[in-house]
Amino acid sequence: MTVQAKVALPGLTAGSDRPFGIYIHVPFCATRCGYCDFNTYTPAELGGANPDGWLAALRTELRLAAAHLGVAPQVQTVFVGGGTPSLLGAAGLDSVLDAVRDHFTVAVGAEVTTEANPESTSPEFFARLRASGFTRVSLGMQSTAPHVLAALDRVHSPGRALDAAREAAAEGFEHVSIDLIYGTPGETDDDLMRSADAAIEAGVDHVSAYALIVEDGTALARRVRRGEMPAPDDDVLAGRYELLDRRLADAGFSWYEVSNWARPGGQCRHNLGYWDGGEWWGAGPGAHGYVGSTRWWNVKHPNAYAESLAGGTLPVADLEELDAETAHVEDVMLRVRLRSGLPMAVLSAPERDRAAAAIDDGLLYARGERLVLTDRGRLLADAVVRTLLG
């Protein structure tokens, strides 16, 4: 029996003045990392789903998406994430991009990104991607310290991400990003600095770094609950962030979002669209989309996703219409995290008064008509948002 989507999307019209992107979710992983709560599935969890069936369903979703939008906007960015997109191989990722191009117009100069596990890449892999039209690759390194990788249940060898970054650059990728996680139990300051130095020396132009969060339902959460591993310490996390920020700044990287640093021109345009008011269609199991004032998310399991599309129905699990108040809250929450700053004009009079108090407290500073987090404010970004919104 075909599994139909739970709700129907209303009519959607993308704004002509807002950047439009497409996010593709690849739900496949070889193993599950202990800290990860993303919508991913190992072979044992797939229940017969496979990449070929997923790609066929993806093509159908993109066709229905373009029809649903009516006049589909030009695509400024494409981001293939997961999961582990590189498990599809270069030919599979080439087919994904072809599926986008079959139903949408990808703008000249568009940014086209894929995430990749270093262990499933090679020079030939990067060469094929570059020839296909990918412009950016994001590599999950997390750390170069073997004991940190072991604590995170990462399966790649410490040096493989660095070799992959160099291979991608050698095959023509101007934009290569590495992800780091800091604050893993057992990690030292020196461990993090060696990881940062390795990324810098590998020549990447972008670093994303995230504090380890213990997510409910993960293997890491179970280990913490059983007392096998301590929970991350907030003071340690703050100290590591400051160390990393200084090391990256000394190497020519600038923060442009609280958790992201880039050399000049290396900012991720797709993610900037999320933070700065853009719109996107999220395709794939569990993917989220946002157009106009409508946000929706797809059914999670690849089988339910494929069965819904086989019946000619967009695989939407649920949606919400953002009213003006909710949209305002999210606008403040996201844009204050950017180095470009939060426009004062979006704030109400009471919020501007609270912003003045945050400036007095050393959490924000005014740059022209925008409010920007100070170094201390970046450490307390969530608290700054709560202060502004009252």
Question: Residue 351 pLDDT more than 60?
Answer: yes
> Rounded to an integer, what distance in angstroms lies between the CA atom of residue 343 and that of residue 110?
27
pLDDT on residue 126: 98
* 274-302 per-position pLDDT tens digit: 999 999 999 999 999 999 999 999 999 99
* 139-156 per-position pLDDT tens digit: 999 999 999 998 888 766
* 61-72 per-position pLDDT tens digit: 999 999 999 888
**Mean pLDDT, range 50-56, rounded to an integer:** 93
Domain ranges within the chain, ordered by starting residue: 20-276, 323-389
Query: Residue 3's pLDDT band (boundaries 50, 70, 90)?
Result: very low
> Rounded to an integer, what distance in angstroms lies between the CA atom of residue 114 and that of residue 121?
12
Domain covering 20-276: architecture: Alpha-Beta Barrel (3.20)
CATH code: domain 323-389 is 1.10.10
Retrieve residue 40's tokens: 């991913």
1 burial (CB, 10 Å; 0-12 / 13-18 / 19+) is exposed
Radius of gyration of the chain (CA): 21
> Rounded to an integer, what distance in angstroms lies between the CA atom of residue 201 and that of residue 166?
10
Q: Provide the b/e sequence for 221-258 (b: ≥16 CB within 10 Å).
A: bebbeeeebeebeeebbbbbbebbbebbeeeebebbbb
H or E element, residue 113: strand 106-116
* 184-236 per-position pLDDT tens digit: 989 999 999 999 999 999 999 999 999 998 778 878 778 878 988 888 899 99
